[in-house]
């Protein structure tokens, strides 16, 4: 399944009221949103029709997150869903996640693009191929080690996969507190050492199976609540995805 087709169905299931996109480019994914949306990109060049409640911000993600009130475009409402597709380099993707999580709720969903490079060349920090993921993939290992409480699903969308992250904690400082250590350990010179499980897609989930899960209902229906929904979320993930969910984690 092409990732934009997955995105269309993801929006339909989650029905977010607020949406953040880091890395707008031509606007092909941003146009799929039907809620109050914020698109951040210093060099966006929209080439597709966009008709919606959208704030386009021509700046870097670092500058946007460092603003006195980055939630001003949503009237102070946290983001229900966010898409990280900015600079395809590990340190920027990690920083975008840290900053995005702060502007979300426990019931929000954060999605990374380009998590599953198909070749080592495609995963290079220095781009030399037409299709390029960069070295975003170590995010998987970092979240598993430093934030094991998160629910993380790698999804085999075409062409280079997505990573869904749920069960967020906007108050967590674990990643920011250990940012320098994480970068020192996981940012490596080319050629990158991409795990075979990612190249071979042996530890990822088919998109159809993910879309069929009831966790979308749990996230949507618990939105705005104050109770602990994590047990319900994990049951929904486990019941629908079973061993595949365990493998993906």
Q: What is the 3-state secondary structure (H, E, C) of the chain?
A: CEHHHHHHHHHHHHCCCEEEEECCCCCCCHHHCCCEEEEECCCCCCCCCCCCCEEEECCCHHHHHCCCCCCHHHCCCCEEEEEECCCCCHHHHHHHHHHHHHCEEEEEEEEEECCCCCCCHHHCCCCCCCCCCCCCCCHHHHHHHHCCCCEEEEECCECCCEEEEECCCCCCCHHHHCHHHHHHHHCCCCCCCCCHHHHCCCCCECHHHHHCCCHHHHHHHCCCCCCCCHHHHHHHHHHHHHHHHHHHC
Residue 107 near residue 229 (C-beta atoms within 8 A) = yes
**Per-residue pLDDT tens for 72-129?**
999 999 999 999 999 999 999 999 999 999 999 999 999 999 999 999 999 999 999 9
Cα–Cα distance for residue pair 98/92, rounded to 1 Å? 10
pLDDT score of 168: 96
- pLDDT tens, 185-243? 999 999 999 999 899 998 899 999 999 999 999 999 999 876 678 889 988 998 767 64
pLDDT the model gives residue 238: 86
Asked if the model's pLDDT at residue 244 lies above 60, the reply is no
pTM for this one? 0.95
- Yes or no: is domain 3-248 CATH 3.40.50.620? no
Tens of pLDDT along 159-183? 999 999 999 999 999 999 999 999 9
**pLDDT for the residue numbered 239:** 74
The domain ranges of the chain are: 3-248
Nearest 10 degrees: CA dihedral of 168, 140, 151, 91?
Answer: 10
Q: Which pLDDT tens digit goes with each residue over 40-79?
A: 999 999 999 998 999 999 999 999 999 999 999 999 999 9
């Amino acid at each position: 399944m092409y990732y934009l087709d997955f995105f269309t169905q993801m929006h339909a299931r989650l029905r977010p009221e607020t949406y953040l996109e880091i890395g707008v480019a031509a606007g092909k994914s941003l146009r799929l949103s039907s809620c109050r949306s914020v698109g951040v990109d210093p060099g966006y060049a929209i080439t597709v029709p966009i008709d919606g409640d959208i704030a386009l911000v021509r700046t870097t993600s670092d500058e946007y997150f460092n603003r006195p009130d980055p939630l001003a475009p949503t009237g102070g409402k946290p983001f229900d869903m966010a898409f990280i597709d900015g600079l395809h380099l590990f340190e920027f993707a990690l920083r975008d996640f840290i900053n995005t999580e702060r502007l979300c709720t426990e019931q929000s969903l954060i999605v990374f693009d380009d998590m599953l490079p198909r070749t080592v060349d495609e995963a290079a920090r220095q781009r030399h191929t037409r299709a390029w993921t960069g070295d975003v993939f170590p995010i998987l290992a970092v979240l598993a080690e430093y934030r094991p409480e998160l629910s993380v699903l790698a999804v085999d969308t075409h062409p280079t996969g997505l990573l869904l992250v749920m069960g967020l904690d906007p108050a967590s400082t674990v990643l920011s507190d250990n940012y320098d250590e994480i970068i020192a350990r996981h940012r490596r010179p080319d050629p990158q050492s991409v795990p075979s499980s990612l190249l071979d897609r042996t530890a990822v989930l088919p998109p159809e199976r993910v879309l069929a899960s009831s966790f979308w209902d749990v996230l949507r229906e618990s939105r705005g609540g104050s109770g602990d929904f994590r047990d319900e979320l994990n049951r929904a993930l486990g019941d629908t995805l079973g061993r595949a969910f365990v493998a993906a984690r």
